[in-house]
Amino acid sequence: MTMSANSHVYLDANATTALDPRVLEAMLPYFTQQFGNPSSKHGVGETAANAVRRARAQVQKLLGADKPTEIVFNSGGTEGANAAILAALEAAPRRREIIISAVEHPAVLALCAYLEKHKGIRIHVIPVDRHGWLDIDAYRRALSDRVAVVSIMWANNETGVIFPVPELAELAKEVGALFHTDAVQAAGKLPIDLKATEIDMLSLSAHKFHGPKGVGALYVRDSVRFKPQIRGGHQERGRRAGTENVPGIVGLGAAAELAAAHFDDEQTRVRALRDRLERGILDQVDHAVALGAAAERLPNTSTIAFSFIEAEAAVMLLDRAGIAVSMGSACSAGSFEPSHVLVAMKVPEAALRGAVRFSLSRHNSDADIDRALAAVPGIVAKLRAISPFGAEEGAPVALG
Amino acid sequence: MATLQTTADRFGDYFVNPKHVGVLAEANAIGAVGALGYGDAIKLMLRIDPASERIEAARFQSYGCSALIAAAAAVTDMIIGQSVAEVQHISSADIAEFLGGLPAERMYCAVLSYEAIQRALAAYRGEREAATEPTLCKCFGVSEAVAERAIRSHQLTDPHQVTQHTKAGGGCCGCYKDIETVLARVNAAMVSAGELRAVQAYRPGSVPPSGIERKPRGDSPPPLGARAAVPSHITMAPRPAPVAAAMPRMKLPPAESRDRGTPEQYAQIEQAVQSVRPTLQRDGGDCELVDVDGSAIYLKLSGNCVDCQLASVTLSGIQAQLIEKLQRPMRVVPVS
């Protein structure tokens, strides 16, 4: 089954995924016939409340959470990470330090930069090595009873590298710090069993596993003293006020159930597709390296850094060839710096701006990989023919 | 709409099917701008007929985004067959317009292409590189002169526009105040020349830096042994090597085996190193030439440069400047 927009081969699942038609089907009634407010006492409201209850159980099951009440619905990963970190700081006002990794998503990085600058919170940024592995010694040294919360992602969005989050959470527990994980890329792709871990909070987003955009969930262990960021009504047991996004929540629940049913497919067929794509490209293209390939990675992600070219140009040419991929985080408005993840992994200068991310989902087929393999080597060769830089001389690479 | 359609296609055509790509063996004027470390580079090669002063042939190589490739390719088409005097007057705004406009954050591609033309023409005239142009932005090696030309050509009146047109300030943004100063100075001159209305001129402090923090500065973890050992039953992923300091320091090869080149070459390197020092000194840093060995220039950094998080960026900046001044590949190696 190939899901595609305008006959594009879509290999950008870490950005977002297509809504599964079965998820859409589950959502549709809640826009029209079952439009009730879950807080209402009448039957229309009751139906909506039941739908939200069912979705909560579906997400609970996906995460292996102990109780359904530990699931708080929200707008997605960014809100989840913000709410978790801020709640942790409020819960332990005397603890004024946070530990994060150098490769966190901007949802965590930008919040911590703000807290550091404006609230005087000390931020420990744990480095990674060139394989993307976390420096566990540095993490241990940063832990102390001054740390309010550790927020370390389960899997990296740019490279797919998986961190040993359950073990990191155990270490945090030793010093009484709360542990939050941004699992936006891991949830729905990897089996997770929270009740067997010391993880206190976890963020996820529905649209990364064929659910709708703008809806997600924050797992909050029942023992956590959680202070809400959005105050108002009693929805989500006071932890996230505002009338529930019922169709979205229903979609999240349905997507969670389908994702769990496809874990095997992800680990076998999708992984095989990814491996074939990666090997195929590396076999045909010199001076290319798969980032984080020596570490444990998500089965769907392959980020390949091509020396001597700029990824944006490759992404644009691939787009014209009908293949949708993305680059290691794009130049954003006002910044021309290369991806912080690639910088943290000390990717050599020649390849630092040449990383192209291929991320697959269960909607991809063998034919998709064939098309990508037919296009990528030629496009890289074309850009290298334009580039003044090359490998013939070895370092240093210079004009002149 | 018809013209929009045409120019939109033009951008795509130049990016997807650029003509005049590659090395022009018979070139007698070469203009090279940018560097690998800056994320953009253009090498423009021209064959100018000395008798007629017409551009007979032009080829380019470029490293960068789609807009940079399109702009450099468009430039070759714009100048082939033109006289030196005509090409001299092509502005970066002309290049952007020729492509049907560029997105705001890609305007620097037109500016960089313009600078490549100007350098090629300067090389044709046999002009040496200006002694030391003050550097505005270390992250991307943008000189004040480049910023000034972009401000004039595009009538810029906002520091963020200067970033979009030159990339200056698009890295650590430590030069924001300097950008403001240059912008105000150039705007004032433009007002005096009647090129800008006084109300439009930029006043330092009137537009704040973006102010949105992207990532924390971070704190290095306390030294080893600062806290109790972790229970041994917890196993971890393989341990990476200890994180090096901001910048690795190298050992010099033995003095007798060093290849310093000819005395002239060594003096040239000495002079080039002298010329980059003022930039470092402005930030409370400095550097000193320790020795040369073949293509390796051994430098000792001091002051604020030591342990600066951006030391490696500074080093690639210094390296790029030295390569440019010396016109041959060199490698800067920090020594303690």
For B88-134, write each residue's pLDDT tens digit: 999 999 999 999 999 998 999 999 999 999 999 999 999 876 656 78
Q: Is the pLDDT assigned to residue A399 strictly greater than 50?
A: no
Q: Which residue has the higher pLDDT, B247 or B286?
A: B286
Sign of the alpha-carbon dihedral angle for A26, A27, A28, A34: positive
Q: Is residue A286 part of a domain?
A: yes
Q: Which residue has the higher pLDDT, B322 or A133?
A: A133
Q: Please, what is the Cα angle at A246 between A360 and A34, to 5 degrees? A: 120
Mark which residues 65-94 of A lie under 8 Å from B by CB.
none
Is the CB of A125 less than 8 angstroms away from the CB of B216?
A: yes
In Å, what is the CA distance from B214 to each residue of A109, A114, A334, B249? Answer: 7, 8, 11, 29
Bond into A38 cis (ω within 30): no
What is the SS3 assignment for B213?
coil
Q: Which residue has the higher pLDDT, A328 or A78?
A: A78
User: Does the CB of B318 have a partner CB in chain A at under 8 Å?
Assistant: no
Same domain, A373 and A355: yes
By the 10 Å C-beta count (0-12 exposed, 13-18 middle, 19+ buried), A169 is classed as buried
Q: Please, what is the Cα angle at A361 between A359 and A366, to 5 degrees? A: 95
Got the DSSP string for B218-283?
-BPPPPTTSSPPPPTT---SPPPPPPP-SS--BPPPPGGG-----HHHHHHHHHHHHHHHHHHHHT
Is the CB of A349 less than 8 angstroms away from the CB of B37?
A: yes
> Residue type at B294?
G
In Å, what is the CA distance from A274 to each residue of A291, A328, A359, B284? Answer: 13, 17, 8, 49
User: Does the CB of B63 have a partner CB in chain A at under 8 Å?
Assistant: yes
In Å, what is the CA distance from A290 to each residue of A115, A254, A303, B163? Answer: 34, 34, 6, 32
- Average pLDDT score over chain B: 83
What would you report as the CA-atom Rg of chain B, rounded to the nearest whole angstrom? Answer: 23
Written as six digits, the tokens of A202 are: 């976890």
Q: Where does A70-155 show beta strands of DSSP type E?
A: 71-74, 97-101, 122-126, 147-151
Q: Which residue has the higher pLDDT, B248 or B99?
A: B99
User: Does the CB of A145 have a partner CB in chain B at under 8 Å?
Assistant: no
CB pairs below 8 Å between A and B: how many?
191
Residues A366, B157: Cα–Cα separation, whole Å: 53
Which of B105-109, B206-210, B279-283 has the least mean pLDDT? B279-283
Q: Is the pLDDT assigned to residue B225 strictly greater than 80?
A: no
Averaged pLDDT for residues B20-34: 95
Parent domain of A109 = 21-261
Averaged pLDDT for residues B212-240: 51
Q: Is residue A1 part of a domain?
A: no
Position B234 scores a pLDDT of 41
pLDDT digits (tens, 9 = 90+) for A81-124: 999 999 999 999 999 999 999 999 999 999 999 999 999 999 99
* B147 contacts B162 by C-beta, under 8 angstroms: yes
Banded pLDDT at B8 (limits 50, 70, 90): low
Same domain, A242 and A199: yes
Averaged pLDDT for residues A223-251: 96
Sign of the alpha-carbon dihedral angle for A121, A127, A133, A136: negative
Last residue of a domain, one of A261, A280, A303: A261
Banded pLDDT at B241 (limits 50, 70, 90): very low
| Residue B172 Cα, gap to closest chain A Cα (Å) | 8
| Residue A79 Cα, gap to closest chain B Cα (Å) | 17
Give which of B24, B43, B65 to mutate to test A binding, by max A Cβ within 10 Å.
B65
Domain count, chain A: 2
How many other CB atoms are there within 10 angstroms of residue B94's CB atom? Answer: 15
* B65 contacts A386 by C-beta, under 8 angstroms: no
Which of A191-205, B149-163, B276-290 has the least mean pLDDT? B276-290
Last residue of a domain, one of A205, A240, A261: A261
Give which of B66, B247, B312 to mutate to test A binding, by max A Cβ within 10 Å.
B66
Q: Is residue A194 part of a domain?
A: yes
Residue % of chain B over a pLDDT of 90: 53
Mark which residues 212-231 of B lie under 8 Å from A by CB.
212-219, 221-224, 226-227, 230-231
- Average pLDDT score over chain A: 94
Same domain, A247 and A274: no
How many other CB atoms are there within 10 angstroms of residue A134's CB atom? Answer: 26
Q: Is residue A43 part of a domain?
A: yes
Written as six digits, the tokens of A269 are: 């067929």
What ipTM does the predicted assembly reach?
A: 0.89
Residues A222, A74: Cα–Cα separation, whole Å: 17
Q: What is the CB-side half-sphere exposure of residue A40 using CA atoms within 13 A? A: 11
Q: Is the pLDDT assigned to residue B327 strictly greater than 90?
A: no
Q: Which residue in the set B62, B221, B330 is minimally distant from A388, CB to CB?
A: B62
Same domain, A144 and A254: yes
Q: What is the CB-side half-sphere exposure of residue B334 using CA atoms within 13 A? A: 21
Q: Is the pLDDT assigned to residue B3 strictly greater than 50?
A: no
Residues A109, A125: Cα–Cα separation, whole Å: 9
Written as six digits, the tokens of A162 are: 């998986």
Q: Which residue has the higher pLDDT, A376 or A396?
A: A376
Q: Is residue A115 part of a domain?
A: yes
Position B279 scores a pLDDT of 77
Same domain, A137 and A229: yes
User: Does the CB of A313 have a partner CB in chain B at under 8 Å?
Assistant: yes
Averaged pLDDT for residues B292-308: 77
Q: Is residue A323 part of a domain?
A: yes
User: Does the CB of A385 have a partner CB in chain B at under 8 Å?
Assistant: yes
Position A81 scores a pLDDT of 98
Q: Is residue A215 part of a domain?
A: yes
| Residue A98 Cα, gap to closest chain B Cα (Å) | 10
Structural domains of chain B sorted by starting position, each given as residue range(s) with its CATH number in brackets: 2-124 (3.90.1010.10), 135-200 (1.10.10.1100), 255-334 (3.30.300.130)
Alpha helices in chain B (DSSP H): 2-16, 66-79, 84-88, 92-98, 108-124, 144-154, 159-166, 176-192, 263-282, 311-326
Same domain, A217 and A86: yes
Same domain, A68 and A183: yes
Is the CB of A312 less than 8 angstroms away from the CB of B66?
A: yes
Got the DSSP string for A110-125?
HHHHHHHHHH--EEEE
Same domain, A195 and A268: no
Is the CB of B34 less than 8 angstroms away from the CB of A399?
A: yes
In Å, what is the CA distance from B44 to each residue of A120, A389, B228, B321? Answer: 50, 14, 61, 18
- Which CATH number fits the domain that encloses residue A233? 3.40.640.10
Sign of the alpha-carbon dihedral angle for A384, A386, A392, A397: negative
pLDDT digits (tens, 9 = 90+) for B250-272: 567 777 778 888 787 888 888 88
Q: How far apart are the first and last CA of chain A?
A: 51
Last residue of a domain, one of A261, A278, A308: A261
| Residue A271 Cα, gap to closest chain B Cα (Å) | 21
Q: Is residue A156 part of a domain?
A: yes
Q: Is the pLDDT assigned to residue A53 strictly greater than 70?
A: yes
Position A200 scores a pLDDT of 98
Same domain, A293 and A196: no
Which of A189-193, B8-12, B306-310 has the least mean pLDDT? B306-310
The phi and psi torsions of B291 (rounded to 5 degrees) equal -170, 175
* A301-306 and A288-290 beta bridge pairing: antiparallel
The phi and psi torsions of B55 (rounded to 5 degrees) equal -80, 110
Is the CB of A164 less than 8 angstroms away from the CB of B242?
A: no
What is the SS3 assignment for A304?
strand
Q: What is the CB-side half-sphere exposure of residue B181 using CA atoms within 13 A? A: 7
- Which CATH number fits the domain that encloses residue A370? 3.90.1150.10
Please give the order of strands across the beta sheet that includes A71-74.
A71-74, A216-220, A201-205, A178-182, A147-151, A97-101, A122-126
By the 10 Å C-beta count (0-12 exposed, 13-18 middle, 19+ buried), A115 is classed as buried
In Å, what is the CA distance from B3 to each residue of B7, B97, B101, B107, B194? Answer: 6, 12, 12, 20, 32
Same domain, A296 and A328: yes
Same domain, A296 and A309: yes
| Residue A48 Cα, gap to closest chain B Cα (Å) | 39
Same domain, A65 and A122: yes
Q: Least CA distance to B36: which residue of chain A?
A: A350
Using an 8 Å CB-CB cutoff, list chain B residues near A333: 105
Residues A155, A150: Cα–Cα separation, whole Å: 15
Residues A1, A112: Cα–Cα separation, whole Å: 41
Q: Is the pLDDT assigned to residue A400 strictly greater than 70?
A: no
Tell me the catalytic residues of A: 331
**Which residues, other chains included, contact B244 with Cβ-Cβ below 8 Å and sequence gap of 6+?**
none
Written as six digits, the tokens of B97 are: 């317009």
